[in-house]
């Protein structure tokens, strides 16, 4: 077996474990609510030189998304590593709705683009992007600054974020850029820190790569290499290379003009040549493959490898970037930490560029930017490309995650400072010294560096956080392998913001010589001893040990982090000899570790809390005072409003929707003039294609969003946010978030306790009986199948036995037997006189489950009524008879009946308003034996006709 084959096998397991984390670089815009109408796009294949000195070409697949009005400024949107242009489809649509022409493409070696992956080489991937700039300059839809110079911004996440920096530093036609969760120096990102590095102040230039002294980030590097070894598109949740999915079907494409694209192939419909078969290096260039093999087998990088990584890094061109830049970096990112964004900010500012820096509570380990941050990115582009809106400025914004709530999610607030620390003469950084204590300790490195301590599981931190609130509590320091130094309990909160520094002494503990590889991390320790490692980040470093056995002194810069360390908590510095995410020392050794300075220097960046806009203590004082002063008036007003907002005539009607409309800025109308009524005992299916307005309607019914016009009444009461009548509604609209270590019954009781209502009103046993989980309710939910989790989620919605149950796609992810069981659950619930409203795209299932149906299309009502009547449509009917020819004669003689035809054992006719019972009576009177009579069409046929497909 070759050395490379052994390496590939070694990395296959971690690559499969965290493959979803790579997608964060391509999917940093996500959907919320109901899908708006799709945006039209055009496709084209563009040819680019394989390299500057090559006559061969590579083919780059592209998509051009068009706003409602053109010409308009353009945004080039690059995808993350392992993705393709399909990975950023939703984000491209969002930008197009903000008035931009959007160009997406699959980088060479990904998607359907040909060529080999050169890691954003200036001679390859960056030149490809320049070719795409040339393409934009030829498009009439794109606004121009001058001939050949389109007005354009560039953005992307991770791999795509680095491309945006490299392109801006190479081509001045780029007017602005927003790199997201990306790197400054790939060598420093994958081989961070060394013993020779000293702490840098906040005003010094960014740290440089440390050459062979860097400690190899083994897990993340292996994941990336494994991703490039495959031909799958990792941006697909299933790991497949998808064709057009439902969200980007061919009907969204604008008509294509068959014209010769500049430097490319003809028309959008042509496909690039198939990707070459994979060799030993997969889709990587031989140079990249050789470099990875070297580092993975030795743990160190030669100068040739470092030069290759640097040539693929933004640090090569940041001294040439003067365009306005918004840097977005994640606080939960063990791949590209905050130090990478910090270096980029300093370098661009030194070159004279305008820089705004945002740290958000996410990253490769922590998830994608949320709706608010996505809006900030779009606002940046609007101001700098369209000249509209408010100047976003050059401030510094960071997210502060606090203690976990009972729901399992952390509290979150945003702090804004006037400028990013160190970029201006008056730095906003303050440093606080915290005294540490601890004697000299011996830490042992085991033979082979195994077993190793755990600081993080790359890419899985966010998943664990969402499920059990333990993302930063993964760390495990093995006995005998670590030295621990701890502070006294803090007397006030310490808001750690940035890189702490500490001075250490390291000496031989035995006959060890040469150097030591060590790992430093700073914990937040609560009063009960629980340790949290902010950002799951660790600082690897090498220490050259003096040959005479004396101690070496080293200043260690810990990874940047944001963490509110509360009063009475402690800081704990742990220095370990191993870490499973890095290449560890193979030889057994022992080291004596002590503090060279008893204090650790902790950075603090004061700012304004924009989540509330006021200091928290002052705000609570104001709120309490106001509540005391106006409580009586509020209660009286609330009572009057309740009386005004109720309709006694509708007190027994579960749901009445009247002239409901929901419009958004920019002219998008999700729901328009919608009216329908739901009665007791009905199971009503809400149907419609994507973008029909179903989810928007359900959110308005639950009081989550305000209608623009019209109103909703539940049991006669008008629905508003927080209205008491909402307690009579049970809902399941998004995925369940059960605690895996608790049983199903325990999860339900915990959920009900959070409502503050008496347990006796929960009717837990009744809800569980309806859900039909049996003895499984006493098992931990981590053992549940998807179908069992769905049924438990329905049971949770049924707690309190609400009179109106609202379910959005309750059968998602279920197999046919589970769907059948779910159908029985809903029928049993409605059979007790309650009402169920179900939104679903499974038409056959709705036909079997629901008694009534409402069909929506483009936000409007197109049909409503009983399922059988909707399916029957224009009165088409089928009769199973013993004599089809005789039956056909009888039906043709009935006035109004037409389009009669027969087959082997049935006759079909359009009754055209004639009651089916009348036709049936005529057949029986004529002596025709009728075995069955019913509507001719299925609900699916009627649905497709109603929505015009």
| Interval 561-578 mean pLDDT | 93
Q: CATH class for domain 873-946?
A: alpha beta
Q: How confident is the model at residue 407 (pLDDT cuts 50, 70, 90)?
A: very low
- Does the pLDDT of residue 277 top 50, yes or no? no
Distances (CA, A) of 904 to 428, 475, 908: 86, 72, 11
Q: Are 494 and 434 in contact (CB under 8 A)?
A: yes
Q: How far apart are CA 445 and CA 438, in angstroms?
A: 20
Domains 430-609 and 648-867 share a fold: no
pLDDT number for residue 247? 36
| Interval 67-74 mean pLDDT | 95
- Does the pLDDT of residue 653 top 50, yes or no? yes
Which of 322 and 248 is assigned the larger pLDDT?
Answer: 322
pLDDT number for residue 69? 93
- Does the pLDDT of residue 649 top 80, yes or no? yes
CATH superfamily, domain at 648-867: P-loop containing nucleotide triphosphate hydrolases (3.40.50.300)
- Does the pLDDT of residue 873 top 70, yes or no? no
Mean pLDDT score of the chain, rounded to an integer? 78
760 burial type by CB count under 10 A (0-12 exposed, 13-18 middle, 19+ buried): exposed
CA nearest to 79, candidates 135, 18, 159: 159
CATH topology of domain 3-29+41-269+284-319: Rossmann fold (3.40.50)
pLDDT number for residue 936? 55
Q: Are 949 and 865 in contact (CB under 8 A)?
A: no
**Helix (H) / strand (E) containing 544:** strand 539-544
Query: Helix crossing, 3-17 with 218-229: angle to 10°?
Result: 100
Q: Mention every residue, 6+ apart, whose C-beta is less than 8 A from residue 695.
A: 33, 34, 35, 733, 808, 839
Q: How far apart are CA 798 and CA 785, in angstroms?
A: 20
Using a cut of 0.75, tell me whether the model's pTM lies above it. no
Where is mean pLDDT largest: 367-371, 712-716, 849-853? 712-716
pLDDT number for residue 940? 61
Where is mean pLDDT largest: 198-207, 466-475, 525-534, 719-728? 525-534
DSSP code for 266: B
pLDDT number for residue 871? 66
- Does the pLDDT of residue 628 top 70, yes or no? no
Q: pLDDT tens-digit profile of 173-218?
A: 999 999 999 999 988 888 886 333 333 333 333 333 333 467 888 7
pLDDT number for residue 209? 33
Q: How confident is the model at residue 813 (pLDDT cuts 50, 70, 90)?
A: low
Q: Where are the alpha helices (DSSP H) in 446-589?
A: 461-468
Q: What number does CATH give the domain 430-609?
A: 2.60.120.260
Q: How confident is the model at residue 642 (pLDDT cuts 50, 70, 90)?
A: very low
Sequence spans of domains, the chain:
3-29+41-269+284-319, 430-609, 615-640, 648-867, 873-946
CA nearest to 845, candidates 825, 826, 865, 820: 820
Instruction: Find the farthest-apart pair of alpha carbons in the chain and give their distance in angstroms, rounded.
Output: 116
Least confident stretch, 4-13, 350-359, 570-579: 4-13
Q: How far apart are CA 827 and CA 446, in angstroms?
A: 62
Q: Are 591 and 549 in contact (CB under 8 A)?
A: no
């Amino acid at each position: 077996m070759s050395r490379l084959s052994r390496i590939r096998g070694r990395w296959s397991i971690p690559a499969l474990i965290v493959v979803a984390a790579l997608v964060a670089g391509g999917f940093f815009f996500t959907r919320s609510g109901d899908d708006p109408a799709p945006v039209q796009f055009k496709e084209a294949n563009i040819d680019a030189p394989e390299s500057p000195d090559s006559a061969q070409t590579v083919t780059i697949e592209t998509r051009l998304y068009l706003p409602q009005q053109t010409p308009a400024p353009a945004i080039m949107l690059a995808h993350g590593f392992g993705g393709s242009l399909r990975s950023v489809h939703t984000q491209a649509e969002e930008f197009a709705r903000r008035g931009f022409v959007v160009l997406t493409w699959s980088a060479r070696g990904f998607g359907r683009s040909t060529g080999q992956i050169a890691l954003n080489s200036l001679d390859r991937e960056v030149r490809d992007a320049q070719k795409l700039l040339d393409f934009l300059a030829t498009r009439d839809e794109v606004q121009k600054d001058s001939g050949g110079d389109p007005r354009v911004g560039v953005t992307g996440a991770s791999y795509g974020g680095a491309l945006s920096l490299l392109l801006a530093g190479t081509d001045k036609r780029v007017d602005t850029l927003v790199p997201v969760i990306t790197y400054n120096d790939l060598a420093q990102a994958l081989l961070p820190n060394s013993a020779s590095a000293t702490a840098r102040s906040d005003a010094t230039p960014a740290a440089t790569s440390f050459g062979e002294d860097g400690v190899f980030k083994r897990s993340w590097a292996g994941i990336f290499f494994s991703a490039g070894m495959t031909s799958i598109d990792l941006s697909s949740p299933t790991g497949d290379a998808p064709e057009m999915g439902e969200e980007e079907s061919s009907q969204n494409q604008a008509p294509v003009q068959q014209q010769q694209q500049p430097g490319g192939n003809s028309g959008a419909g042509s496909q690039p040549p198939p990707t070459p078969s994979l060799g030993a290096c997969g889709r990587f260039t031989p140079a990249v493959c050789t470099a990875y093999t070297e580092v993975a087998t030795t743990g160190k990088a030669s100068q040739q490898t470092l030069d290759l990584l640097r040539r693929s890094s933004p640090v090569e061109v940041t001294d040439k970037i003067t365009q306005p830049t918004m840097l977005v970096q994640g606080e939960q990112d063990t791949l590209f930490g905050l130090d990478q964004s910090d270096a980029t900010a300093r370098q661009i500012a030194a070159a004279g560029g305008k820089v705004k820096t945002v740290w958000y509570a996410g990253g490769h380990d922590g998830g994608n930017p949320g709706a608010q941050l996505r809006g900030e990115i779009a606002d940046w582009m609007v101001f700098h490309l369209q000249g509209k809106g408010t100047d976003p400025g050059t401030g510094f914004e960071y997210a502060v995650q606090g203690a976990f709530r009972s729901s399992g999610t952390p509290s979150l607030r945003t702090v804004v400072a006037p400028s990013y620390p160190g970029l201006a003469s008056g730095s906003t950084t303050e440093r606080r010294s915290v005294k540490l204590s601890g004697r000299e300790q011996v830490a042992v490195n085991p033979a082979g560096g195994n077993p190793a301590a755990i600081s993080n599981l790359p890419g899985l931190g966010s998943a664990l956080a969402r499920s059990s609130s333990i993302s930063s509590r993964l760390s495990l320091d093995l006995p005998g392998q670590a030295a621990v130094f701890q502070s006294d309990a803090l007397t006030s909160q310490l808001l750690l913001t940035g890189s702490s520094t500490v001075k250490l002494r390291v000496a031989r503990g035995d006959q060890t010589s040469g150097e030591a590889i060590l790992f430093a991390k700073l914990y937040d320790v609560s009063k009960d001893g629980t340790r949290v490692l902010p950002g799951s980040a660790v600082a690897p470093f090498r220490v050259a040990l003096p040959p005479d056995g004396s101690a070496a002194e080293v200043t260690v810069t810990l990874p940047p982090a944001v963490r509110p360390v509360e009063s009475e908590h402690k800081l704990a510095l742990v220095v370990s000899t191993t870490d499973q995410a890095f290449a560890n020392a193979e030889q057994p050794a022992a080291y004596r570790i002590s503090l060279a300075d008893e204090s650790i220097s902790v950075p603090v960046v004061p700012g304004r809390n924009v989540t509330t806009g006021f200091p928290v203590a002052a705000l609570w004082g104001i709120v309490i005072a106001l509540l005391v002063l106006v409580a009586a008036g509020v209660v009286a007003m609330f009572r009057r409003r309740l009386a005004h907002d109720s309709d006694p005539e509708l007190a027994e009607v579960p749901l009445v929707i009247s002239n409901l409309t929901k419009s958004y800025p920019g002219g998008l109308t999700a729901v328009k003039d919608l009216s329908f009524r739901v009665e007791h005992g009905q199971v009503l299916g809400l149907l419609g294609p994507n973008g029909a307005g179903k989810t928007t309607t359900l959110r308005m019914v639950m009081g989550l969003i305000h209608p623009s016009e019209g109103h909703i009444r539940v049991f006669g009461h008008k629905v508003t946010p927080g209205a008491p009548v909402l307690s009579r509604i049970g809902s399941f609209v998004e995925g369940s978030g059960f605690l895996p270590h608790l049983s199903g019954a325990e999860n339900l009781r915990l959920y009900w306790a959070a409502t503050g209502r008496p347990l006796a009103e929960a009717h837990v046993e009744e809800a569980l009986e309806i859900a039909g989980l049996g003895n499984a309710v006493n098992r931990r939910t981590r053992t549940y199948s998807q179908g069992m989790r769905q049924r438990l989620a329905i049971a949770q919605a049924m707690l309190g036995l609400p009179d109106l149950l609202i379910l959005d796609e309750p059968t998602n992810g279920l197999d046919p037997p589970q769907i059948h069981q779910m159908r029985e659950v809903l029928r049993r619930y409605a059979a007790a006189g309650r009402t169920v409203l179900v939104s679903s795209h499974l038409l056959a299932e709705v036909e079997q489950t629901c008694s009534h149906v409402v069909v929506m299309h483009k936000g409007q009502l197109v049909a409503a009524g009983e399922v059988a009547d909707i399916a029957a449509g224009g009165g088409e009917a089928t009769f199973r008879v013993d004599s089809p020819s005789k039956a056909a004669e009888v039906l043709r003689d009935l006035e109004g009946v037409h389009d009669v035809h027969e087959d082997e054992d049935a006759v079909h006719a359009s009754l055209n308003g004639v009651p089916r019972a009348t036709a049936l009576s005529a057949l029986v009177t004529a002596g025709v034996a009728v075995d069955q009579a019913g509507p001719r069409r299925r609900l699916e046929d009627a649905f497709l006709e109603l929505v015009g497909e």
